[in-house]
Amino acid sequence: MTQLTIDYASELVKIPDAREMIAEAHDICEAVPAVFEELSDDTIPVSVKHVVIDRIFPKGIRNFLKTLCDNNHFKLFEEIREEFNNQLKDPKELYSTAELVYVTPPTDEQLIQIRDFLGREFNNKEMKLEMKEDKSLKSGFIIRVGSKEYDWSEAGRIKQLEERLSKAVGASNSFSEDNIISILRTTIEEFELTAQDKEIGVASWVGDGIVSVDGIDHADYGEIVIFDCGVKGMVQDVRRDDIGVILFGRDTEIHEGSRVARTSKMAGVPVGEEFLGRVVDSLGAPLDGGPDIVTENYRPIEMPAPGIVDRKSVAVPMETGILSIDSMFPIGRGQRELIIGDRQTGKTSIAMDTILNQKGKDTICIYVAIGQKASTVAKLVGTLKAAGSMDYTIVVSASASDPAPLQYMAPYSGTAMAEYFMYQGKDVLIVYDDLSKHAVAYRAISLLLERSPGREAYPGDVFYLHSRLLERSARLSPEAGGGSITALPIIETQAGDVSAYIPTNVISITDGQIYLESHLFFSGQRPAVNVGLSVSRVGGAAQRKAMKKAAGSIRIDLAQYREMEVFTQFSSDLDDVTKKQLAHGRSLMELLKQPLGHPFSMAEQVIILVASTTYVFSEIPVEDIQSFRKSLLEHFHSEHGDIINELDSYLDLSDDLRHRIEDVTRDYKKEVYKTEETEPTEE
């Protein structure tokens, strides 16, 4: 060993957990030799090498590997690794025992070769060998280390050949001797004395972020593979002769003949408390210019939904702070409430107000932006920061400029992050904005993978795409963790068509929908909630007692107002009862208007609803209702804080408390409008 190699190894010893990371880097270089050759090539720019290192090597040793590349010393990597292992003191071996199964005992020379092999594979030449005789192997031997098995036996070769023949016979009824000879020749050429996780394939077709790979026979759906240029992909199609891979990066560096290596890892994302306050992509990499996020936790993006036994009924409110929703379509923790409407009708605004309203309520919020403009996401993050809401929020962004695979993966990555907190007993609110673009991205992937198109060219499993995502939202029982995920999926309709394919799919999956109407929005009714088509299938079960009592007949009053307004719009001669009912309905519609980014507390909503039953607002000009509401709430906060404290503490509305609110409202109205009332007497 040269002094240079010894110095590099000494620096490596100082890095925490360097042993595991160096072993992983060694496996990558061994599985994809082109990576080692590229990093050792002095003619390749250093910037290109840095990109490859950032993409495929463990974070902890990236700077060390970049230093080797900067000094053109990467070709010494294997020598440095060997010296590094020699310098480690009292290493704790992952595998300490190997089982050797044989027909005839191995010779001393064979034992030396076996120990050399174990030293290369597990960095432990002194591994204890447990000898076992098994005549059924016919000849040869098997080495078992942990869950890995290396089969050099005659019985293993015969079994492998039988599997090949049975697959070929099952695929074709006609089978000739030439086919058998071809299979035998291929089997002999491809037989490798390594574990199956070192399987290497070759790209046979590349285009539009999709790659067909030949030669990988054991890959699982959803498994991550690495190309020799460092780009990662996910197995999305498992066919008889090849696999279809979707890329998480650009396909400009991949061509026919590029080598592909399995990782035996399912697609997943890092998770943890470290992500709070950050903007990340679908793979968990930061997009906000901040430092790298270091966490030891990792979750697959695809996980089974909690079972019935692990779930608890939805009975705790997830208050949005929006009067029209909390009073008429209450959302509970663990519920899935769809927000649906045409573009530019305030769908994202409702989700944003709900996130802002969770401040100080010990709720984690995750906003998943799918196919949105990057400028829109940046503006949204700015709003959250200004309100101090980014401290408990994670933003997962797959913008319109990102490849379709990243847009497809984004909501599953966000759900994996949410599940980490849910199983720790915390409440999570997740917003999918929006699933229409998610379905479009999946449609693009499916068509490129040559899957059969169905209605509106969507694949047949597009319903399952969203159902397996939204079913993961639940309220868990205490035994299962006790947390919850509340989902607010967003769907964009075309010209108000709620009967289209994707809207009807998601409506049937969710527990209710908030339907936003364009003509209401443009007429100034914001939020533009259509009271007739909106519904919450959980209902009053997830509503505070105070809110339930205060809301009372508001939906009936609004329905009567809309019906009466249609019949009386051309009439000029109305009786006093009808006039009073119309005035009350107009005041309710005006009260349901709410400024953007100003959610109401539960106590404020109860006060507004109780005050509306006194018909105080209907006696005020419509244009003054919102200013009077604002000043009335300020009056309650400054002069009658005991009423607000009582509502916040007991969460119930007693008859006495209702009367007190009504009395304060009437007295305040008289005080505000006393000048108008006294003018006639002065004359």
Helix (H) or strand (E) holding 247: strand 242-247
Catalytic residue IDs: 537
Lowest-confidence range among 58-72, 322-336, 487-501, 640-654?
58-72
| β-pairing verdict for 259-266 and 223-227 | antiparallel
Task: With a cut of 70, say whether residue 197 has pLDDT above it.
Answer: no
Of 646, 681, 679, nearest in space to 661 by CA: 646
Give Cβ neighbours of residue 302 (< 8 Å, ≥ 6 apart): 222, 266, 267, 412, 468
β-strand partners of 212: 205, 244
- 294-308 residue pLDDT tens: 998 999 999 999 999
Q: How far is CA 556 from CA 116, 176, 230, 578, 585, in A?
A: 82, 78, 62, 15, 10
Question: Is residue 145 helix, strand or coil?
Answer: strand
- pLDDT per position as a tens digit, 249-259: 888 889 888 88
Query: How would residue 352 be classed by pLDDT, with cut points 50, 70 and 90?
Result: very high
pLDDT (tens digit per residue) in 131-167:
888 888 877 788 877 646 677 777 777 776 776 666 5
Q: Are 433 and 490 in contact (CB under 8 A)?
A: yes
Give the list of residues 6+ apart from residue 378 with CB closer than 8 angstroms, or none: none
pLDDT in tens, 198-225: 578 899 999 888 999 988 888 889 999 9
CA distances from 538 to 318, 480, 543 (A): 12, 22, 9
Contacts of 80 (CB under 8 A, 6+ apart): 5, 8, 9, 12, 68
Predicted pLDDT at 459? 94
Helix (H, G, I), strand (E, B) or coil at 271: strand
**Contact 640/668 with Cβ under 8 angstroms?**
no
How does DSSP assign 421-486, residue by residue? HHTTT-EEEEEEETHHHHHHHHHHHHHHTTPPB-GGG-BTTHHHHHHHHHTT--BB-GGGTS-EEE
| pTM of model > 0.75 | no
| Distance in angstroms (rounded) separating the CA atoms of residues 54 and 66 | 9
More confident position, 160 or 505: 505
Q: What is the pLDDT of residue 146?
A: 60
Burial category of 533 from C-beta neighbours within 10 Å (exposed 0-12, middle 13-18, buried 19 and up)? middle
Three-state DSSP class for 152?
Answer: coil
Per-residue H/E/C for 275-302? HCCCEECCCCCECCCCCCCCCCEEEECC
H/E run at residue 340: strand 338-341
Of 467, 439, 468, the C-alpha closest to 453 is: 439
Q: What angle separates helix 3-13 from helix 18-31, to the nearest 10 degrees? A: 120
- Of 243-247, 616-620, 662-666, the range with the lowest mean pLDDT is 616-620
Q: Are 501 and 439 in contact (CB under 8 A)?
A: no
The torsion of the CA quartet 43, 49, 51, 55, rounded to 10 degrees, works out to 140
- Residue 571: the pLDDT is 62
Query: Sign (positive/negative) of CA torsion 263, 267, 273, 275?
Result: positive
pLDDT band at residue 95, thresholds of 50, 70 and 90?
Answer: low
420: how many CB neighbours lie within 10 A of its CB? 23
